[in-house]
Amino acid sequence: MVPLCIAIFWACSGQQQLTTAKIDINGTEMLYGRISRDQLFYDFPEWENGYGSYEPDSSVVAKLHQTGYDDRILLFLGTWCHDSMREVPRFFRILDQAGLYDAGKISIWAVDRAKKLADNTTDTYDVYFVPTIIFMKANREIGRIVEQPENRLEDDMLNILSGKND
């Protein structure tokens, strides 16, 4: 009876067993299309190492938390891209430490080397470089970080979320 209850609980909890979603495009293994953070870290565990090794400035993280930002974020990355490999784990670490991570409000796309997607989403959002992180408010873009931050990532995020990036 107990094993059955555990199995039912696990099945109903929404937890899925991840399997690889890597594809091969012109000899390069990559993720492509709409993905989740869990899928990214599953298929590219070295990205999770980057997450664990980054320590953002705690005073900036506290200010990010105070913004109370709770709108949509669009993230475009390339699993083949060194800038993405460096910045995306840091981005997740900052969001987590600031208490701003909400998987339901972050849309993540993995692009090919041409920075394209089959549904032309990259064209819709004018994505030409990765990573591109777009912050939205009421369905309008309020700022973006492209390829690498101008300062530290947490500083650039704070500038956008506090309206100081104008």
Cβ atoms within 10 A of the Cβ of 54, count? Answer: 18
Lookup: tokens for 63? 């200010």
Backbone phi, psi, residue 72, to 5°: -75, 145
- Rounded to an integer, the average pLDDT of 28-33 is 93
Residues 30 and 44: beta-carbon distance below 8 Å? no
**Strand, coil or helix: what is 25?**
strand
Q: What is the pLDDT of residues 64-105, one digit of tens each?
A: 999 999 999 999 999 999 999 999 999 999 999 999 999 999
CA gap 97, 99 in Å, rounded: 5
Task: State the pLDDT at residue 166.
Answer: 55
Mean pLDDT of the chain: 90
pTM (two decimals): 0.87
CA gap 137, 141 in Å, rounded: 6
